[in-house]
Amino acid sequence: MRRTPVRLLERPAAAAVAATVMLGLLTPAPGPSAPESAVPVAASESTATVFYYTKTKNWSAYKLHYAPDGGSWTTVPGVAMEAACTDWVKQTVSLGSASGLAATFNNGSGVWDNNAGKNYALGTGAITVKDGVVAHSDPCAGTGTEPGEAHTASVYYSTATVGWTTTNLHYRPSGGSWTTVPGVGMEPACTGWVKKSVDLGTATSMLATFNNGNGVWDNNNGADYTVPAGLTTVKDKKVTAGAGDPCAAETPDTQAPTVPTKVSAGADGVSVVLTWDPSTDDRGVTKYQVTRTGGTKGTLVSDVGSTVFSDTGLEAKTAYSYTVRAVDAAGNVSAASAAATATTGEKPTAPASGKPLGTDPRKDPIYFVLTARFNDGDAANNRGGSQHVKSGNAANDDPMFRGDFKGLVDKLDYIKGLGMSAVWITPVVLNRSDYDYHGYHGYDFYEVDSRLESAGASYQDLIDAAHAKGMKIYQDVVYNHSSRWGAKGLFTPTTYGVRDTQWSWYYDEKNDGFEYDGLTVETKSGKSYYNGDLWSTAEPSGNTCVNWGTPTQYTSPEGYRIYNCQWPNPTSGMFPKAYYHNCWIGNWEGEDSRSCWLHDDLADFNTESAPVQNYLIGAYNKYIDMGVDGFRVDTAVHIPRTTWNRRFLPAIQERVTQQFGTEAAKNFFVFGEVAAFVNDKWNRGSVNHSAQFYTWKERKEYSADDGKAALEMYDYEQQQGTGSQPTSTNAFLDGNAYHAPDHSEFSGMNVIDMRMHMNFGDANNAYNNGKDSDDSYNDATYNVVYVDSHDYGPNKSSERYAGGTDAWAENMSLMWTFRGIPTLYYGSEIEFQAGKKIDCGPTCPLATTGRAYYGAHLAGDVKASDFGTVDSATGAVADTLAKPLVKHVQRLNQIRRAVPALQMGQYSTEGITGSMAYKRRYTDTASGTDSFALVTVSGSATYTGIPNGTYKDAVTGDTKVVTGGTLSVPAPGKGNLRVYVLDLGGRNAAPGKIGTAGAYLK
């Protein structure tokens, strides 16, 4: 999605500083200067002692459910764990010859630590599992020695600057030996501090260093710490002997974080949705603890990474009570709790009717629509927004939110009549910005935007209606960013705008009773609450924004002075780092392009943070459950590949598998926008910023911390360079033979073919560039191929493609027969808005752009009996369907559907002369399918070394018998095509001529 500025601010030059800081993390600090004994050694080659941290669970019992590597799982719920020391339980497991175990934990009554849906992978020796972090140490070592005894060292270590969730003390008493790396586990003491008491024997001091149990050390600039007997604090590399207890001043009440507020619970059938405002605590609340009582299902205690919790599968007509507590990074739980109650309905909510079609996505050409600009089925949900007049849309009676799901449902037969069987729609989540009709400014990711829905035409209704016609729905999804107003249920900034005489028209009046939903107009100010939450003429209390109200050097287009903190931005101090990145992109081919803001209207999620990951996974699970057939991933390149491969892509696969089975998961189509707007194979030589890079799994292990892993991966792959990236033959024939593709290293994400897109100013150029890149994708037969879109035309043109009808026909002939999945941006079948600027934000009317409203061309009725076959059409839509390119794409779809090689086949140019000529084959022994085709677009071609037999052209019906392995085809003419299919008899007989000759296919 290209970002067109719609606000008034200009970006500050802060990204260079951010990039410098980030680059400083690329080289990990060395370990401590410890003796050889510091090399990790397992406590036993055949056992593992697993320690589990209990403080944030508060279960009455703890079970370890495990399977040694290569062995069988214990019977659910597993074996009981025993008390070890304060806040810890343990269990020693005999592993035999195994080198580790897979494990998970539960309370014996159905409540599990699901570790974001993954089993814990544990090794041997002493292993700790604390709040999802696996480390190596014995947290109970030395706990029998009380502080204050002779020759005892009580060490308090400050974690405020290192941010570790597990801390180990690695030490050597004077004259003694070092502990085994990584040392002994330290215990939580109070906010920002951990502690450990060590029996020194006859020694009066020890050498020490600290680490997180996973290879990250406080190396004290290369020198070990010297810690004497008695109470000592270590903070910011400073040792203070004889110090006072740093936790003595804190009482349990002040140690605990503040409680969340505004907890509300609402029942829908037998489900309850709980929401609350986040805890405003400077210690850093990392999660919330939700407790449920009521009914006969037992008490629920669950850790939640966002401020939304869904409790499903409850009993009917039953009252449930919930309490919510805040948990900070040190594991402290708020002493008080916020409560809410809800009573479930009389009967269970009917399950969603949606179910993905689950077929191979390569069979389905894609039609891409901006839902709000396609067809208006319900004028009642139209909204122009705050820019309606300024943009010029009002003068055209053309509100930005005009099309809707009802309008799309009404015209599914038009799309089917074109021959397209998959519809890619723009994001459906509730948006919030001044100009958000396109859907890329998500605000409530759990809510469908009400400006798209109507009575009888919900999002679920659209999915079901498409499936009833054999058509798929691909939902555009955004993991990279939210709107500038944050993400409801995760974090929303409070904005205090300066309201002077120039800006009084702009800011909303405060109205505590109003909840933004995109559709409802707030009556107090007469706006839809697109703008600031509050306004003020003096700095208000509670402000966190830096330099509030200071005039900047910038002015709005109207000449109004712009103030600091007028709107949210990454360096303003409004966004916590736990949820959002706090920098601007400085280098679009640098590491910061994956970890900083794209634009001031797009708040960049900290996607390496567990609460953000959980929020987004939970949101998109909702749409998977509704039965969508795939996701188009916006701005995929702006999230590290490690995060995709570790978190988001596995979560998609797991959810689809859970809901619909393995085959549906295999064919759930995920294709990413890895925007490389250059004409070379690798984006300016940067592998991390190239589309094909995202189709591969990781090649090595990185840090368990997602943020560190992203940096490590970036640095490693950049150093490997373009010449050392993996290659694949999955798209290529072996001579004339199809071979089973190897997808073992596939990441789970396919991509838009950016290189062909950028070169589609000329079809032959796009073809040759596509071929040149195909060995670097995991499987290029899944590439999504288009000429232009809602962002750009070829060669990064800002206008919709205007190469002429003949060139369009040639481009389509190539896309529909070459490898990949052909995709058409709405209206291109009639050269809609050709040459018009694709997007100019609110500075010009939408009617003058490439995102103009299309519904006028669809007025009337249309009925399609099959893909590419229209039974009847009246009104303007009949005229639209009569256009020459429409006839062309209809016939191309008919031909492609009749020849499996054109849908799923591998290809080769071996032994072929011709500018755009290739052979394709698809073989599936399970179904008995074998399809072999020779294709030439526009020009002549000669094929040598091909199988002998009878070949029939799907365009003309011409028959050629090959006896010497050679077939020659005269040039059919620009935009025309020849598809000679080998007649293999039976179900694999060549179809002969398909469809009726038209202006181009003849």
Mean predicted confidence (pLDDT) in 175-197: 87
Residue type, 800: R
What amino acid occupies position 774?
D
Q: CB–CB of 787/746 below 8 Å?
A: no
Least confident of 334-338, 426-430, 813-817, 992-996: 334-338
Identify the pLDDT of residue 148: 39
pLDDT score of 811: 98
Task: Output the CA–CA distances (angstroms, integers) from residue 391 to 400, 435, 846, 999, in the order listed.
Answer: 10, 10, 8, 40
Cβ atoms of residues 570 and 582 within 8 Å: yes
Residue type, 793: G
For residue 165, what are its two tokens? 């969730």
Under 8 Å between Cβ of 287 and 611 = yes
* Helix and strand totals (H; E) in the chain: 17, 54
Find out whether 194 and 167 touch, Cβ atoms under 8 Å: yes
pLDDT of residue 19: 29
Alpha-carbon gap, residue 949 to 41, rounded angstroms: 67
Given a cut of 50, is residue 253 above it in pLDDT?
no
Closest among 766, 578, 777 to 687, alpha carbons compared:
777
Which has more confidence, 283 or 623? 623
Instruction: Identify the residue whose tokens are 């309370």.
Output: 107
Selection from 476, 471, 474 nearest residue 893 by Cα:
471
Percent of the chain predicted with pLDDT > 90: 58
**Rounded mean pLDDT, 521-539:** 65
- Residue 479 has which token pair? 């993991």
3-state secondary structure of 901: helix
Angstrom distances, CA of residue 637 to CA of 434, 481, 673, 675, 692: 25, 12, 7, 7, 11
Q: What is the dihedral of CA 813, 818, 823, 828, to 10 degrees?
A: -20
pTM, two decimal places: 0.70
Q: Which of 471-485, 498-512, 602-616, 897-911 has the lowest mean pLDDT?
A: 498-512
- Classify residue 97 as exposed, middle or buried by CB count within 10 Å of its CB (0-12, 13-18, 19+): exposed
Separation CA 400–CA 436 (nearest Å): 8
Amino acid identity of 690?
A: S
Between 395-404, 558-567, 573-582, the lowest mean confidence (pLDDT) is in 558-567
Instruction: Output the pLDDT for position 164.
Output: 80
Nearest-10 Cα torsion for 531, 535, 539, 541: -90
pLDDT bucket at 872, cuts 50 / 70 / 90: very high
- Is the model's pLDDT at 487 over the cut of 90? yes
* Chain Cα centroid distance, residue 92: 38
Q: What are phi and psi of 732, to 5 degrees?
A: -115, 140
Averaged pLDDT, 597-623: 94
Residue with the bigger pLDDT between 940 and 555: it is 940
pLDDT of 9 higher than 60: no
Euclidean distance between CA atoms 909 and 473, whole angstroms? 34
pLDDT at 508: 67
Reported as a pLDDT band with limits 50, 70 and 90, residue 995 is: very high
Tell me the pairing of strands 906-908 and 917-924.
antiparallel
Torsion of Cα atoms, 719 then 724 then 726 then 729, to 10°: 160
The structure tokens 């990145």 sit at 581
> Interior CA angle at 656 toward 651 and 661, to 5°?
135
Contact between residue 558 and residue 552 where contact means Cβ atoms under 8 Å apart: no
Strand, helix or coil for residue 133: strand
**What residues form DSSP beta bridges with 919?**
908, 934
* 48 closest CA partner among 132, 134, 123, 130: 123
pLDDT band at 301, cuts 50/70/90? confident
Using CB atoms within 10 Å of the CB of residue 911, give its burial: 0 to 12 exposed, 13 to 18 middle, 19+ buried.
middle
- Residue positions counted in the chain: 1002
CA distance 838 to 834: 9
Q: pLDDT of 32-46, one tens digit each?
A: 333 322 323 333 357
Lowest mean pLDDT of 113-122, 372-381, 661-670, 811-820, name the range: 113-122
**DSSP characters for 476-542?**
EEE-SEEETTBBTTTB----EEE--TTTTTTSPPP-TT----SSSPBTTTTB-S-S-SEEESSPPTT
Contacts of residue 713, defined as CB under 8 A and 6 or more positions apart, other chains included, come to 640, 641, 642, 698, 702
379 burial level (CB within 10 Å; 0-12, 13-18, 19+): exposed
Cis peptide before 77 (omega within 30 of 0): yes
The whole-angstrom separation of Cα 113 and Cα 303 is: 9
Radius of gyration of the chain (CA): 31
The CB density around residue 987, as the number of other CB atoms within 10 Å, is 10
Strand bridging mode 534-536 / 959-962? unpaired
Q: Over range 417-444, report the average pLDDT.
A: 96
Whether pLDDT at 352 is above 70: no
Range 265-279 average pLDDT: 77
Of these ranges, 229-238, 571-580, 894-903, the one predicted with the greatest mean pLDDT is 894-903
Task: Report how far residue 910's alpha carbon sits from residue 912's, in angstroms, rounded to the nearest whole number.
Answer: 6
Q: Tell the residue number behind the tokens 């040792």, with chain if given.
A: 239
Q: What is the mean pLDDT of the chain?
A: 87
DSSP string, 813-863: HHHHHSSSEEEEETTGGGTTTTTSBS--GGGS-GGGSTT---GGGG-S-EE
Task: Copy the structure tokens of residue 50.
Answer: 């697993």
Residue pair 672/749 in contact by the 8 Å Cβ criterion: yes
- For residue 306, CA distances in Å to 311, 449, 478, 642, 941 come to 14, 20, 17, 22, 60
